[in-house]
Structure 1
């Protein structure tokens, strides 16, 4: 018998799949943050955050909006990977409330104190990693545990962001670490999903050259890119960092060329 996609629930339908609340909240938060950012930038509005206005803006993109979107995707994809029921109802509601509490804590951190704000804000990604790992391990889907490494790195970058902003007055290394983690996550997930969609369409519509299957070249390119991004994070001005980034760009260009995108566009 097929595994049911959801279990009977008294909760609203928005809490049945992870993408429903988190894609919605991420979109709303992104739009609202822009409305705050413009008057903050021009000095027409004061923030209640301990962050500088530019740090608040960066933080809410890297550690507010992006984690919401990533969480929505992961909590929707993991049941397809494991065959288990999705994280829903109370567990999903708890994650949503933690995310909302993090946004409020950061915005009002001048009132709550930077440490309490950091604990509340950083607890979201930690909870996401724990929930996702629990489902992947329970489903014995070991090969997809690697997807959580960039998410855990994003959590570490968020912790570093709060510490840097408090002790240095402005964030620095944590920005690059967070951005690098997101780029690696896109390379892993996008490198599997996009060629799959392209392949399915080409098989149906235009038989011929198909995207290359995910293989050792992809793994090597992702590893090289992660190394280059790590070098950029810790040694942004080093010549070797520039060489690694250039090499990673070339390998990623070759990787993109293997996806048969031109065939799909014709």
Structure 2
């Protein structure tokens, strides 16, 4: 997985921290953030508010759901880049989901957001020298077990809840990542999103100061034997794996162990 570009970090940091605006930060420079009517902090508990739309008809998009400027910008980016589009937006989880379903339907695609039943991995993913080193570091430095913990809570540097429980630490050739189910994420903390087209592999979600990044996987990386060369890090290792460079699962969310703690995140 790749860390987000500094230019996008700066663009997002320039947005107001007032919750619930929708914007296109990396598509057009002349579009300003427009307030919507949904507050990112309006839901006090863990939520999983995914609207269900049919595969053929476009979902209804009343003005209270998505800002008109976001719809206008989505139309432009879909025309320009098709299924490989990406768009930065700022709003609630339900706004993100509405934009996702509508934009993919415009492309003739459907996104199955139903999380499959979780199946424990039969063996440790720390199966090579680089991964064993990562596991030793993660367990000795931060005490995270590979098999997960349903009660451990994760907090961002500001003390905002990130998640309650985790499924596993996945050791791949791009470093170790914490794996979550969607219902473990505390979504009011994540008001900033990167929406992507069906030609990509994941969406992205960020907390208010973009110190924490979640990868929202909708495809595996089974067709990528090595980690992306364009986004190297200190833990990247090319092992030319036929099964893909990491066992990222569709329907799960991930955050880099090292990035989380180095940013000031903590567990309790």
What's the TM-score once normalised by structure 1's chain length? 0.26
Comparing both structures, which one devotes a greater share of its residues to strand? 2
Query: Relative contact order, CA 8 A, sep 6+: which one is greater?
Result: 2
What's the TM-score once normalised by structure 2's chain length? 0.26
Q: Larger C-alpha radius of gyration, 1 or 2?
A: 1
